[in-house]
Structure 1
């Protein structure tokens, strides 16, 4: 693997993690969704106007573009396992940014 591709892989992992965390923050601000047909459109409108949700979508889009650059340069069998770094990044970031507990079972 070319070491020059590693920053792009890490950027993709960080963007994906940022998307997950901002999605969690956005959904947390939107509140609970009560499953009923009459609630779907208002809840979706609330999500569509939520800046955290919009940020998460932007992070996902940029992450996909970066990932395409990665896959154009190295085999997926090398690149994809490195995505697992996102599990650690998400757990640590959720602990510090969202106050979530890190337990032995989550590690």
Structure 2
């Protein structure tokens, strides 16, 4: 894999992870809500104009463009599994920013993901 292809994949993964984390920050700011016909408009407007939600959507949009560029250079059987790196990034940032738990089981799973991505990229 060329350095440019790797950079595109890593950039796409980081932007995708950032998008997810920003959406979570936005939902945290809006708070827990239920979807009912009477609150669709108020909740929809809160979500639509939340800066975290808007930033998360933008990150997803840019990640899509970057990801398409990466897929033009790398076989999907290599590129797609590398999206798993986003799980690792999200787990640690969610632990740090949102206080989400990082149990021994989660850490073991993260280790398996890292090992799996390593094995897949070594066979390319």
TM-score (norm 2): 0.81
Structure of higher RCO (CA pairs closer than 8 Å, 6+ residues apart): 1
RMSD after superposition: 1.1
| Gap change, CA 1:40 and 1:105, over 3 Å in 2 | farther
The question of 1:15 aligning with 2:54 is answered: no
Match of 2:92 in 1: 92
Q: CA deviation at 1:95?
A: 1.1
Q: C-alpha distance in 2, partners of 1:47/1:74?
A: 36
Equivalent pairs counted in the alignment come to: 107
Counting only pairs closer than 5 Å after superposition, residues 31-70 of structure 1 correspond to structure 2 as 31-70=31-70
Q: CA deviation at 1:105?
A: 2.9
Runs of 4+ in structure 1 displaced over 3 angstroms? Answer: none
The runs of 5 or more residues in structure 1 that have no matched partner are: none
Q: Deviations over 1:52-89 (max 9, x none)?
A: 00000000000000000000111101111111111101
Counting only pairs closer than 5 Å after superposition, residues 65-76 of structure 1 correspond to structure 2 as 65-76=65-76
